[in-house]
Structure 1
Amino acid sequence: TQKLNQWFTKFGNVNFFKTIFLTSAYLYPVSILLLIGELVLSVLIVQNVKYTEIDWVAYMQEVEGFLNGTFDYSQLEGDTGPLVYPAGFVYIYSSLYYLTNKGANVRLAQYVFVGLYALTLLLVFRIYILTKKVPAYVLIIMCCTTYRIHSIFMLRLFNDPFAMTLLYLSINLFLKNKWNLGSIIYSFAVSVKMNILLFSPALLLAYIHVLGLKGAVVQLALCASVQVFLGLPFLITNPLAYIKGSFNLGRVFQHQWTVNWRFLPENIFIHPIFHALLFTGHIFTLWFFFNICNTFMRSYSRLKYLEGEVAHDMKKCASAKVDMSTLSQLFVFPMFLANLIGVVFSRSLHYQFYIWYYHSLPYLLWCTDLSVTFRLMLLGLIELSWNTYPSTIASSTILHFTHIVILFNVYKTNAARLKAKI
């Protein structure tokens, strides 16, 4: 009875549950429970929710041409048009082509994406556990508002999940000082879908500060080598067609599918001047945040060096432990911020693109001084915008409003913190 009372005193009181849900102390066990719950839910979705065909058949048609010996990118196409993704996409979906009996076994493909979703969550949770930036209830909310995310993975089978999973894997590797392997995985992610390049400004800063100029050049060369290696069959056959087809920065999107620019007339939406203005805004905003991101990465480099020195000394004292995992915040914040800036100035966002930044939004909001209520309200408005189909003038306007509010408060909060430390 005494032991039972002691157990109840420790685990059965309100303060214990507050510690679990309102702090980052128990992120690890909470993440495990969420992962199990998400796996069960994903299986139920596959079994009970109707699959919607959008691009899967076209993907299979595109890679079928490659598997039949066509290496000229200009000749690879499907029902939705020509192949517009780099070589990594071709290899991944070629594997799925064989695994699913030429794409016929869609149910098996869905279960592959269930596994991919679980891996994505595992990698995302690990980043949140390392950074200790958000309380556990934020991860719970993140898993409770995944209607669109589940759809992108299990019911649509888009290529965006593969790209983002590889991206989160590379971030985990970078945080563990596995720079060469991290760069290889990062470049592989780019070869699946180019949106991964939105993270590159922050990654370049990390290369320079952590590895030095020479080390940065080595990593950039490694990334380029991966692209050449993956694209070699196509580069040998028709290099211009491959580069133009898979890395086409001037691609024009259809106005009917846009989530973020619905309030613009189509003639403005497709106009080159509008695209140039967006590119200019993207570059200017990156420059505007440069000092913050540069300071974060420089501090990350210095603390990483200190961590190495401390770890060396700690080996001499087996009982001593120093937790410096929160320095990971200094790396993750610029990476997520650079991506958000790219998303804000995207020429068009389609529904599957939500996954580009869905899992990083809570992190960025918890990098501001906004109240918890206002943070959750912004997440709710973003969720509302992405779940409005078809998009409307109101939903697009709300999406831009929330993006601007987040960027403004991220800058205001972190610029003030840096100024206070000078």
Structure 2
Amino acid sequence: MHLKDRLLQAKNRFLFDPTYLWVAASLLWLAEVVVNVLVINKINYTEIDWEAYMDEVEGVVNGSYDYMQLKGGTGPLVYPAGFVYFYLILYYVTGYGANIRLAQYIFAGFYLINLLLVFRIYQRTMKCPPYVLIFMCCTSYRIHSIYVLRLFNDPVAMLFLYLAVNLFLDKKWAWGCFWFSIAVSIKMNVLLFAPGLLLLLLTELGFWSTIPRLVICALVQVVPAIPFLLENPKGYIVRSFDLGRQFFFKWTVNWRFLPEELFLNRYFQMTLLSLHVILLVLFTVFKWNRKTGSLKKLLQRPEKKEERKLSENDIVFTLFSSNFIGMCFSRSLHYQFYVWYFHTLHYLLWCTGLPTVLKILTLGVIELCWNTYPSTNQSSAALHVCHLVLLVGSWLSRLEEKKADISEEYTTSKDTKKKRKAKLT
């Protein structure tokens, strides 16, 4: 084989062969170290919520455990107790919140750790060709901004979520539930993964073995909250788990094309919730629950001879699509919420049977929508179209194979190489 052919083969493998994804992941991760340092030093930090976070936890430092009294510049404290303890650590490490540059570097560290966890998920599932990671790392200004230029708590919650997913892949369900609940205690958006997680637990462990894992989740919520529950239990529950909280229309990314009166209408919000529940039921009955075949059987104790074990793709697809359904029917998506599903989009798209060009186009349009500020009627509508494309593609996807075949592009290039070799001989 000529050197040119060998180089072409190596290039094709590194770009298209999922088994070589770790090579692209390693190179991109090292590049991300440099990129984050440059972003921090070259682009101005924008204050949005960091000072409010510091004010909220400073209230606890000053001795107040009443959630009705804890507030910052942007309003009352509306996150569970895990948020308070985590940001208390950052409060002291950053000199009572004054050392913004240090906080930025800490969040750059969160970003890099998050990438490692995401890369490991993609390596385990073998669904995506390596070049997909280029889109994940090199095309999203918004994601880098959310981490190191805004210092939101959303990335912190997602960091623990991806840690939990990795533990689920290792079948360490108890530890996974622990870190999953830690993520929920930072921000409640992680509950969008909960329907899928519950189904996975019942499928893998059965009803009775699922109960101790749910107890772990509950204890992680209750124990850290004890000081606040003792002070004002109603205030803590109302503030930290306020599912009915209204969002400001001016920040919405996904419903800009609606009149503000309809956006704020309770019936509209209940309709979205109803559609969310209906889609979860449909996916549970017809898509996710393939291992047992019926909900009744799902609640029974698995027999020793019964093969009910979940593959890597069963776990990841169920969790990621559960979260994605919630995003599709969210009452409002704000710009920092992009991290709730950004690192899952590539996997979900490559689980579908959509043409590669359409997958890349969908990623590009979604990125454009989230980078349009302020959002417009067109950007919001385009985002919903992309969500619909991905939702339908996910419904039609097939996960029977444990690992994806080498992508269409790699197979094509491989055939071309064989034909060239045949001509030479």
TM-score with structure 2 setting the length: 0.88
Q: Distance in 2 between matches of 1:295 and 1:14?
A: 40
Which among 118, 131, 142 is matched to residue 136 of structure 2?
142
Which among 178, 188, 195 is matched to residue 184 of structure 1?
178
Deviations 1:195-232 (A, max 9, x none): 10000111001111111101111111110011001111
Percent of pairs with identical residues:
51
Q: Report the alpha carbon displacement of residue 353 of structure 1 after superposing the two structures with TM.
A: 0.2
Matched, 1:28 2:22: yes
Alignment of 1:330-369 (within 5 A): 330-369=314-353
Matched, 1:104 2:88: no
Number of the residue aligned with 2:288: 293
Matched, 1:258 2:252: yes
CA RMSD between the two structures: 2.4
Q: Distance in 1 between matches of 2:263 and 2:355?
A: 35
Q: Which runs of 4+ in 1 moved over 4 A?
A: 296-299
Deviations 1:318-366 (A, max 9, x none): xxxxxxx993011100110000000001100000000000000010011
Aligned residues: 392
Q: Distance in 2 between matches of 1:253 and 1:416?
A: 40
Alignment of 1:80-119 (within 5 A): 80-119=74-113
Which among 390, 406, 411 is matched to residue 374 of structure 2?
390
Q: Kindly tell me: are residues 351 and 296 of structure 1, through their superposed partners in 2, closer, same or farther at Cα, counting changes over 3 Å? A: farther
Q: Distance in 2 between matches of 1:111 and 1:281?
A: 41
Q: Report the alpha carbon displacement of residue 13 of structure 1 after superposing the two structures with TM.
A: 2.2
Query: Any stretches of 5+ residues in structure 2 without a counterpart?
Result: 402-425
Q: Kindly tell me: are residues 37 and 297 of structure 1, through their superposed partners in 2, closer, same or farther at Cα, counting changes over 3 Å? A: farther
Number of the residue aligned with 1:313: none
Q: Distance in 2 between matches of 1:171 and 1:413?
A: 21
Number of the residue aligned with 1:15: 9
Residues 14, 23 of structure 2: 8 Å contact kept: no
Matched, 1:268 2:262: yes
Residues 296, 331 of structure 1: 8 Å contact kept: no
Residues 59, 93 of structure 1: 8 Å contact kept: yes
Number of the residue aligned with 2:406: none
Secondary structure of the equivalent of 1:191?
Answer: helix
Residues 296, 334 of structure 1: 8 Å contact kept: no
Kindly provide the amino acid, as one letter, of the partner of residue 314 in structure 2: L
Number of the residue aligned with 1:75: 69
Q: Distance in 2 between matches of 1:25 and 1:121?
A: 18
Which among 372, 378, 383 is matched to residue 356 of structure 2?
372
Alignment of 1:401-416 (within 5 A): 401-414=385-398
Kindly provide the amino acid, as one letter, of the partner of residue 368 in structure 2: L
Secondary structure of the equivalent of 1:398?
Answer: helix
The answer to which of 354-363 and 19-28 deviates more is 19-28
Number of the residue aligned with 1:240: 234
Number of the residue aligned with 2:225: 231
Query: Any stretches of 5+ residues in structure 1 without a counterpart?
Result: 310-324, 418-422
Kindly provide the amino acid, as one letter, of the partner of residue 293 in structure 1: W
Number of the residue aligned with 1:320: none
Q: Report the alpha carbon displacement of residue 9 of structure 1 after superposing the two structures with TM.
A: 7.0
Number of the residue aligned with 1:175: 169
Q: Kindly tell me: are residues 56 and 341 of structure 1, through their superposed partners in 2, closer, same or farther at Cα, counting changes over 3 Å? A: same
Number of the residue aligned with 1:318: none
Q: Kindly tell me: are residues 416 and 36 of structure 1, through their superposed partners in 2, closer, same or farther at Cα, counting changes over 3 Å? A: closer
Q: Kindly tell me: are residues 134 and 257 of structure 1, through their superposed partners in 2, closer, same or farther at Cα, counting changes over 3 Å? A: same
Q: Distance in 2 between matches of 1:109 and 1:152?
A: 13
Residues 206, 297 of structure 1: 8 Å contact kept: no
Matched, 1:198 2:182: no
